[in-house]
Structure 1
Amino acid sequence: MDKTQSIPTIDLSDFPAQYEKLRRSSEEWGCFRVVNHNIPFELMQEMKQVVRSLLDLPIQIKQNNVDVIAGSGYWAPSPKNPLYEALGLYDMASSQAVHTFCSQLDASPSQRDTVAKYAKAIHEVIMDIGGKIAESMGLKGDYCKEWPCQFRINKYHFTPQSVGSAGVQLHTDSGFLTILQDDENVGGLEVMDKSGEFVAVDPLPGSLLVNLGDMATVS
């Protein structure tokens, strides 16, 4: 594979023409970017501001974000992942779960509104992409409809001395798919191709990155 090649970009407004490209991208790369996903750029930017504010809260408040299942609440930096910190909730499709998440962190009314709007918008994109992946494989049905959609907001504590280090340990995602809104200015994200080589994933403003996880691999 040509290491100068970028990961594929899928235009969600161009179906059914993109079905074959989506299928190939899923099988050959296990990841792709999506554009024209109907999430307003302004909402994406507002959510990033809320993420920064919540992760800048005192540790005593962040620790109120407790687990529903293992790993769904607050993750502090650890010896294994010293640069990584995250907050999360188990199912963004649940308005009650979103409300509880915001209450745990004493989110302001405007922050709550942004989180709720963003969670709803991302969930709709997940359902759309999951359905299109199934259809690209010749399958029909709402395969993702009843699945919980875990929601995580992440921070990487890089310093000039730690630039170049891994932000989080090498891993695969355990679920079906992950949608990531990455930084628009700072690169560093890499994915492994079929040959075992790492390929840089360059930022693309306004897009979303989709990773297929372990459940998609075995499906």
Structure 2
Amino acid sequence: MGTEAKDSVPVINMQDFPGELIRACEEWGCFRIVNFDSSILSETLMSEMKEVVRSLLDLPMGIKKRNVDVIAGSGYMAPSSINPLYEALGLYDMTSSQAVNDFCSNLDATPHQRATILRYAKAVNKLMMDIVHKMGEGLGLIDISFEDWPCQFRINKYHFTPGTIGSPGVQLHTDSSFLTILQDDEIIGGLEVMKRGGTFEAVDPCPGTLLVNLGDIATMWSNGRFLNVKHRVMCKETGVRVSIASFLLGPSDALVEAPEELVDLEHPRLYVPFAYKDYRSLRVSEKLHTGEALHRLRIEL
């Protein structure tokens, strides 16, 4: 399966090496993946994880508040004046079994919940590595490595009522990560991505698939070639909407910079190298939610 109709989010078959993958990164900054390896991430595990997520998000507020930040914006987010319909729990770093166990202990997770989260975190990280290595191949890069990049997941809950229809569930934003793997709600939609021309495309539920969004770090790392997709969630129907977003962030020790192979006389380096945590702090502290922080790092040509 290749891309869908021109005005639909591209669909990428993970069992092939599709040329459509790079075009989707450039033109949309997002794509839906199908036929990914079920031995890595099965529909059964996805379903079990969704049940765990619903249980954790139903915990008393006092317990959820134990989920504190490790880096800026990585812990519990209560409904706010900006996003009153939204709350979330966060885990940094999901590739660390110690971090996963600490997250679970703070929330009084059961042994089954803990085991499910550990399995899911490992599976999603493996899938991330498959995706980014296919991206590297598509760009002609050799020996790129993302294995030591921290990852975060955020489990999201939206409280949609008849009185909130037409309201934003979460404000327009880009992700500060390299990429995001989203396991969306199976029934209640509302996610919209902004196309390059500024119009919005609805991304409807499609059980058994995953959506991949590219964030600010992908734009910088690709030397401006990949689009950091702007997206939002709108309330279009009543109910509780639950999703799981897993983020491949940026290197913890090295600077973020475009590989030398993507820089030449025709494509000069567009951004100064920077530390991911500094970039994340800049976005959070100055409320630069839609990629504006990247403009601060542009090199004047």
Q: 1:111 to 1:11 in 2, by over 3 A?
A: same
Counterpart amino acid of residue 20 in structure 2: K
Out of 118, 125, 129, which is 2:120 matched to?
118
Counterpart amino acid of residue 190 in structure 1: E
C-alpha displacement at 1:117, in angstroms? Answer: 0.6
Q: Which residue of 1 aligns with 2:237?
A: none
C-alpha displacement at 1:163, in angstroms? Answer: 2.1
Counterpart amino acid of residue 118 in structure 1: Y
Counterpart amino acid of residue 33 in structure 2: V
RMSD (CA atoms): 1.4
Matches within 5 A, 1:68-147: 68-147=70-149
Matches of 1:163 and 1:140 in 2, distance apart?
48
Q: Which residue of 1 aligns with 2:21?
A: 22
Q: Which residue of 1 aligns with 2:42?
A: 40
Matches of 1:141 and 1:31 in 2, distance apart?
24
Matches of 1:132 and 1:4 in 2, distance apart?
23
Q: Which residue of 1 aligns with 2:215?
A: 213
Q: Which residue of 2 aligns with 1:12?
A: 14
Counterpart amino acid of residue 27 in structure 1: E
Matches within 5 A, 1:181-192: 181-192=183-194
Counterpart amino acid of residue 74 in structure 1: Y
C-alpha displacement at 1:3, in angstroms? Answer: 9.1
1:81–1:168 CA contact under 8 A, matched in 2:
yes
C-alpha displacement at 1:150, in angstroms? Answer: 0.9
Matches of 1:82 and 1:143 in 2, distance apart?
39
| SS at structure 1 position matched to 2:155 | strand
Matches of 1:124 and 1:94 in 2, distance apart?
13
1:131–1:141 CA contact under 8 A, matched in 2:
no
Out of 133, 151, 161, which is 1:149 matched to?
151
State the TM-score, normalized to the length of structure 1. 0.94
Taking every aligned residue pair, what percent have the same amino acid on both sides? 65
C-alpha displacement at 1:61, in angstroms? Answer: 0.4
C-alpha displacement at 1:157, in angstroms? Answer: 1.2
C-alpha displacement at 1:142, in angstroms? Answer: 3.5
Counterpart amino acid of residue 196 in structure 1: G
Matches of 1:14 and 1:162 in 2, distance apart?
42
Counterpart amino acid of residue 135 in structure 2: I
Q: Which residue of 2 aligns with 1:51?
A: 53
Matches of 2:172 and 2:53 in 1, distance apart?
23
What is the CA deviation profile of residues 46-91 of structure 1, one whole-angstrom value per residue up to 9, with x for unaligned ones? 1111111000000010011111111111111111111110001111
**Higher Cα Rg, which structure:** 2
Aligned structure 1 segments of 4 or more residues deviating by more than 6 angstroms? none
Matches of 2:112 and 2:42 in 1, distance apart?
17
C-alpha displacement at 1:165, in angstroms? Answer: 1.2
1:92–1:151 CA contact under 8 A, matched in 2:
yes
Counterpart amino acid of residue 110 in structure 1: H
Q: Which residue of 1 aligns with 2:160?
A: 158
Residue-pair matches, total = 215
Matches of 2:5 and 2:22 in 1, distance apart?
21
Using CA pairs below 8 Å that are at least 6 residues apart, which structure has the higher relative contact order? 1
State the TM-score, normalized to the length of structure 2. 0.69
Q: 1:4 to 1:187 in 2, by over 3 A?
A: farther
Counterpart amino acid of residue 131 in structure 1: H
